[in-house]
Amino acid sequence: MITDAENAVRAGDLPLALDRLQDAIRAKPEDARLRVFLFQLLCVLGRWERALSQLEVCAEMDAAAIAMRETYRDAIGCERVRADVFAGIRSPMLFGEPETWIALLIESLLRAGRGEEEAGERLRQQAFELAPTTSGSVDGKAFAWIADCDMRLGPVLEAIVNGRYYWIPFCRLARIDFEEPTDLRDAVWLPAHLRFINGGEAVALIPVRYPGSESADEGLVALARKSVWSECRPGVFCGLGQRVLATDSGEYPLLDIRQVRLGEDAEAVADHG
């Protein structure tokens, strides 16, 4: 039955996958691997409370899952914060004092969340005019600028660091190393290593999907195998499904990227190349 669930995931039929997996667990409730699979599938579906409960069960059944529980319990909490940020209810965390442009970008979401769409759009445009461009390379391919394709974000990377949800400007980063996705949960949060221009480093989880993707009717969107775009506000195009980074040299789905070098770090590599 686990094979049936895996086949359903591969086909993008998430309701069927959940049914088959629950059947498998009823048949073998002591199988910790099935519980981990269920936790991950519930995360894909955005059923956060059930995912948290299943995560606790995983840690109780297998001590090797305790570290996973600590990491992903925080990640689930951050998804709730993240939903509030994009709804204009609260602000994301920032490292250090915010530059004017990112403060304006955050305020644009807060205004839009209060129904002040025209004011929010003016602030968003002003933020993008003030934001610095950052050159670098994606997996060795040079670019003059980089931005998220979602126009609510632009030159900002979403990241979960030390259990908290941050917006990090690309101009503050020197390098991003993404792990290769191997598990179903990597379609929700991809582990990465961040190096900042000030020399600091951090381990992070990068949200792979745009907010609301977990509720998409199409399974491939929820599984981050597809990206779709819509005009969520007049003149503002927002994504569902897998995050896509845009540069002047092309567009890159997040799960295909292994390394981004930025600013002086990218220039140093080019000089030695």
Q: How many domains does the chain have?
A: 2
Tell me the H-state helices in the chain.
Answer: 2-11, 14-27, 32-44, 48-61, 66-86, 100-113, 117-130, 219-222, 263-272
CATH number at residue 28: 1.25.40.10
Q: Are 73 and 147 in a shared domain?
A: no
Q: Are 79 and 138 in a shared domain?
A: no
239 within some domain: yes
Of 51, 83, 115, the position where a domain reaches its end is 83
Q: Are 49 and 169 in a shared domain?
A: no
Per-residue pLDDT band for 273 (boundaries 50, 70, 90) equals low
- Say whether pLDDT at 271 is over 60: no
User: Which residues span the domain enclosing 190?
Assistant: 133-272
How high is the mean pLDDT of the chain?
95
Per-residue pLDDT band for 234 (boundaries 50, 70, 90) equals confident
92 within some domain: no
Q: Are 186 and 264 in a shared domain?
A: yes
247 within some domain: yes
What pLDDT digit, counting tens, does each position of 97-128 carry?
Answer: 899 999 999 999 999 999 999 999 999 999 99
117 within some domain: no
Q: Are 198 and 267 in a shared domain?
A: yes
228 within some domain: yes
Averaged pLDDT, 174-203:
98
pLDDT the model gives residue 266: 63
Of 83, 110, 144, the position where a domain reaches its end is 83
78 within some domain: yes
Q: Are 146 and 268 in a shared domain?
A: yes
Task: Could you list the beta-strand ranges (E) of 84-214.
Answer: 136-138, 141-143, 146-148, 156-161, 164-169, 173-178, 189-196, 201-207
Q: Note if the pTM is more than 0.85.
A: yes
What pLDDT digit, counting tens, does each position of 52-108 carry?
Answer: 999 999 999 999 899 999 999 999 999 999 999 999 999 999 998 899 999 999 999
Averaged pLDDT, 251-269:
87
27 within some domain: yes
Per-residue pLDDT band for 233 (boundaries 50, 70, 90) equals confident
Q: Are 146 and 266 in a shared domain?
A: yes
- Say whether pLDDT at 133 is over 60: yes
Q: Are 151 and 256 in a shared domain?
A: yes
Which of helix, strand or coil describes residue 136? strand
Under a CB-based contact definition with an 8 Å cutoff, are residues 220 and 194 in contact? no
What pLDDT digit, counting tens, does each position of 29-40 carry?
Answer: 999 999 999 999
d(CA 47, CA 214): 8
Of 24, 56, 83, the position where a domain reaches its end is 83
